[in-house]
Amino acid sequence: MRDWSGLQDFRVVRLNAALFPPSAYETDLCRQYHLTPILAEANKPDDIIPWVADCDALFAISVALPATVVEKLERCRVISRLGTGTDKIAVDLATQRGILVTNVPYFCVEEQADHTMALLLSLARQIPAMSKAMAAGEFGHARNLSRVNQRLSGRTLGLVGFGNSARQVARRAQAFGLKVIATRRNPAAPNQPAQALGVRMVDLDTVLRESDYVSLHLPLTPETRHIIDDQAVRRMKPGAFLINTARGALVDEAALVSALREGRLGGAGLDTFEQIDVFTPDEAPPVHPLLELDNVVLTPHVAAGSVQSGQAVSRGGIENVVAILSGYWPLPENIVNGGVVPRYPLQEHDPTLFETEEAVL
């Protein structure tokens, strides 16, 4: 077994320590690698900087790390995102400063697909409204609601983005008899995965026009921000449902609310939001028009959650840091800024670096 004791000399900071406290699994894994992260809860740049200015490695979950923070990282080698999206991190500046930005891109693919289908089924069968009617003893009202439900089999699910989570959704959707179509940012990408799943690849306009259910599976970038805007919503099939378990700002929420209020869309299932901060330390009932609508199902950015995904993201994020502090490149798919020239030279990725540890935990 490798000797990891040299890693104890590095200063490692773990943000979001109160909002997302380290699990026992994460703590045990850090101990195995002789890492002792300094736990901090700071969310504003002026509060974050004193904690991180002289760190060698930085763990982050939901906190934003803008340029004002990244420019103060005097010796940091890696920003390890314990999750997937890095739209809150000043990645370009980190690259300029020789700081690797890493993530764990596949930790919750199964969970996100399950949650997408859960939202779809809740909308299709009007489960929230049925539950509310049941609690009120309004059994006749519930029966009347059920009479307008549409059979899933034969209807169309459109996927905007066709990465790993979308492919897992396609597998699940076909078990319900749904026809699946999809679009992606790179039209030149190989069609074999789509063909193997029986998914018809089309353009975005076709997805919007033909789909009874539209599900978003894209990262948030300047190009994808508000990809579902007022014009896109108006191109959607009348009565269609929108599902978003990706990033809130993919959707223009004002346009969505208008379409739902006017009855142009049948409903929406949302796990992510642009205007509702579900990571605020001061929890209180949110004020937003979406909360006033009966034809929406809302969850607070929990699509990734499970015991298994929690362990996977901890292991992936920690091993990214351990590899870099040990002088090795991490897994290529975990590097967000692939063109970075590291502050400290790194050896080629070693696929045997962690193989002896699997049996320990």
| ∠ CA 246-92-17, rounded to 5° | 60
Task: Mark which of 298, 322, 349 sits at the end of a domain.
Answer: 298
Task: Tell me: do 310 and 336 sit in the same domain.
Answer: yes
By mean pLDDT, which of 136-140, 184-188, 227-231 is the weakest? Answer: 184-188
Q: Which listed residue (217, 247, 274, 315) is catalytic?
A: 247
Task: Tell me: do 275 and 310 sit in the same domain.
Answer: no
Task: Tell me: do 74 and 86 sit in the same domain.
Answer: yes
Cβ pair 280, 256 in contact under 8 A? no
Question: How many domains does the structure of the chain reveal?
Answer: 2
| Residue 18 C-alpha from the chain's centroid | 20
Q: Give the structural domain span for 199.
A: 109-298
Query: Which one has a higher pLDDT value, 361 or 240?
Result: 240
Task: Tell me: do 24 and 99 sit in the same domain.
Answer: yes
Tell whether the model's pLDDT for residue 357 goes beyond 50: no
Q: Which listed residue (223, 262, 283, 348) is catalytic?
A: 283
Residue 91 — pLDDT band, cuts 50, 70, 90?
very high
Identity of the amino acid at 305: G
Task: Tell me: do 150 and 223 sit in the same domain.
Answer: yes
Cβ pair 105, 333 in contact under 8 A? yes
Element (H, E) at 115: helix 109-124
User: Tens of pLDDT along 143-155?
Assistant: 999 999 999 999 9
Instruction: Please say if 200 is a catalytic residue.
Output: no
Task: Mark which of 274, 298, 322 sits at the end of a domain.
Answer: 298
Task: Tell me: do 155 and 281 sit in the same domain.
Answer: yes
Cα distance between residue 78 and residue 292, in whole Å: 43
- Residues of the chain with pLDDT > 90, as a percent, come to 93
Instruction: Please say if 301 is a catalytic residue.
Output: yes
Q: What CATH number did the domain enclosing 82 receive?
A: 3.40.50.720
Task: Tell me: do 185 and 266 sit in the same domain.
Answer: yes
Residue 280 — pLDDT band, cuts 50, 70, 90?
confident
Instruction: Please say if 247 is a catalytic residue.
Output: yes
Task: Mark which of 272, 298, 324 sits at the end of a domain.
Answer: 298
Task: Tell me: do 58 and 153 sit in the same domain.
Answer: no
Task: Tell me: do 331 and 289 sit in the same domain.
Answer: no
Task: Tell me: do 283 and 235 sit in the same domain.
Answer: yes
Q: Which listed residue (301, 343, 349, 357) is catalytic?
A: 301
Give the list of residues 6+ apart from residue 31 with CB closer than 8 angstroms, or none: none
Tell whether the model's pLDDT for residue 165 goes beyond 60: yes
How many other CB atoms sit within 10 Å of the CB of residue 58?
30
148 DSSP assignment:
T
Task: Tell me: do 217 and 240 sit in the same domain.
Answer: yes
Task: Tell me: do 171 and 223 sit in the same domain.
Answer: yes
Q: Is the dihedral of CA 164, 28, 321, 72 positive or negative?
A: positive
